[in-house]
Amino acid sequence: MLARLVLTDFRNHAALTLAPGPGFVVLTGENGAGKTNVLEAVSLLAPGRGLRRASLSEMARQSGPGGFGVAATIAGDIAIATGTQASAPERRIVRINGAAAAATALAERLTVLWLTPAMDRLFVEGAGERRRFLDRLTLALAPAHAIHANRYEAAMRARNRLLADEATPDPEWLGALEAQLAEHGAAIDAARRETVTLLADRLDAAQDGPFARARVALEGWSGDASTLAAELRAGRGRDAAASRTLVGPHRGDLAVTHCGKGQPAALCSTGEQKALLLGIVLAHADLVAERTGRAPVLLLDEVAAHLDPLRRAALFERLAGKGQVWMTGTELALFDAIGEDATRIVIGG
């Protein structure tokens, strides 16, 4: 859990220090007070671009000096920090216990999962959004997943440029890039499939409750490194014509089905889709705690506002004792069912 969080020139917060306790952390305040900004800051304590996927320069306070800082103390008195400097607004700096570190190293210290209103359309958006969602779930179980994903993307961009810019690409350089794609692509696919299998087993074993139960599967490319390398070699001409790589794990998709209806999530109602997504996130949080021995930090933005009182109470009961859970809302009454065992913070004013 986070024992201390300090924001400096982050979004609308010039200087904010919070000392959250274990369990529920409830942030309330008017619209525009900066509640979601606090959750975004916490999300940056994990690898990636945060829950809004914004550029780093957007996160710096508009009337501030140009850079920003997010620092936290987590259980065991470990100090982690990230941010930027005005001289390099898009260069992310990460420090762990004062020493410079790669952003991927954050996954070894803290697991952060989130659910935001923007994710309500996850099942009707393009496959890329669902892949990013799946990769966050996978990263929580396999910290090395971020390294493989970054190197795969870099090698794919280089291969695409080589095929587009050279009439006769250097075969040795092209082969080297394809070897990297094959190595990291196979690792990505294997980690994703293990995550989906573990999650599917947990969802299948879950009892029916107030939230729709999902069935999950990974669709698209599958294979080992040698298979992918051969497919890349064979597809050079096709990929050059298309100006992109048409085979590999970057073409996969997370398929989600409503178990009770046997219906794809994309065809379910908005409320059902939100319930399916919430069920997946909660099941995954349990899976992470079981497999790693470390409960994830959950960030649930405005999640209570769209649930009826029965489902709100059921959600809070499900979350109790599951680690540190940050939730936002405009009204204190939304969180009455939690009881007194919570850190309650009013943002703004």
User: Based on the number of CB atoms within 10 Å of its own CB, is 306 exposed (0-12), middle (13-18) or buried (19 or more)?
Assistant: middle
Least confident of 56-60, 269-273, 342-346: 269-273
Which domain CATH number covers 228? 1.20.1050.90
Quick check: is 217 in a domain?
yes
- Domain-located, residue 71: no
pLDDT at residue 251 above 70? yes
CA distance 146 to 312: 34
Q: What pLDDT is stored for residue 122 in this prediction?
A: 94
**H-helix segments, 62-142:** 127-141
Inside any domain, residue 138: yes
pLDDT given for residue 284 in this prediction: 94
Lowest mean pLDDT among 55-64, 177-186, 198-207: 198-207
Instruction: Write down the pLDDT at residue 55.
Output: 96
pLDDT of residue 311: 84
Can you tell me the distance from the alpha carbon of 41 to that of 297, in angstroms, rounded to the nearest whole number?
Answer: 13
Task: Specify if 100 maps to a domain.
Answer: no
Please count the other Cβ atoms lying within 10 Å of the Cβ belonging to residue 236. Answer: 17
pLDDT attached to residue 233:
96
> Does position 211 have pLDDT exceeding 80, yes or no?
no
Averaged pLDDT for residues 25-41 = 95
Confidence class of residue 157 from pLDDT cuts 50, 70 and 90? Answer: very high
Does residue 148 sit within a domain? Answer: yes
Q: In this structure, what is the dihedral angle of CA atoms 156, 120, 200, 223, given to the nearest 10 degrees?
A: -10
Length of the chain equals 349
Range from 47-51, 100-104, 302-306, 325-329 carrying the lowest mean pLDDT:
302-306
Structure confidence at residue 244 as a pLDDT band (50, 70, 90): very high
219 part of a folded domain: yes
According to the model, what pLDDT value does residue 349 have?
Answer: 59
Number of domains in the chain: 1
Please indicate, yes or no, if residue 92 is contained in any of the structural domains.
Answer: no
pLDDT at 94: 97
For residue 84, report the phi and psi dihedrals to the nearest 5 degrees: -140, 170
In terms of residue numbers, what domain contains 127?
120-291
The pair phi, psi for residue 99, each rounded to 5°, is -100, 140
User: Does residue 271 carry a pLDDT above 90?
Assistant: no
* pLDDT tens digits for range 108-130: 889 999 999 989 899 999 999 99
More confident position, 230 or 311: 230
Mean pLDDT, residues 70-92: 93
Residue 182 lies in a domain: yes
pLDDT of residue 100: 96
Q: Looking at residue 14, what is its pLDDT?
A: 95
Q: Give the mean pLDDT of 81-92.
A: 96
Average pLDDT over residues 43-52: 94
Structure tokens at 51: 């829950």
Q: What is the mean pLDDT of the chain?
A: 93
Q: 136-150, 153-167, 233-247, 303-317: which range is least confident on average?
A: 303-317
Is residue 168 classed exposed, middle or buried when 0-12, 13-18 and 19+ CB atoms within 10 A define those classes? exposed
| Side-by-side strand order, sheet with 112-115 | 112-115, 297-300, 325-329, 24-28, 342-346
Q: What does each C-alpha distance from 101 to 26, 96, 98, 249 come to in angstroms?
A: 31, 6, 9, 28
Query: Which amino acid, residue 46?
Result: A
162-171, long-range: CB within 8 Å, 24+ apart, which pairs? 163/236, 163/239, 163/240, 163/243, 164/240, 164/243, 169/236
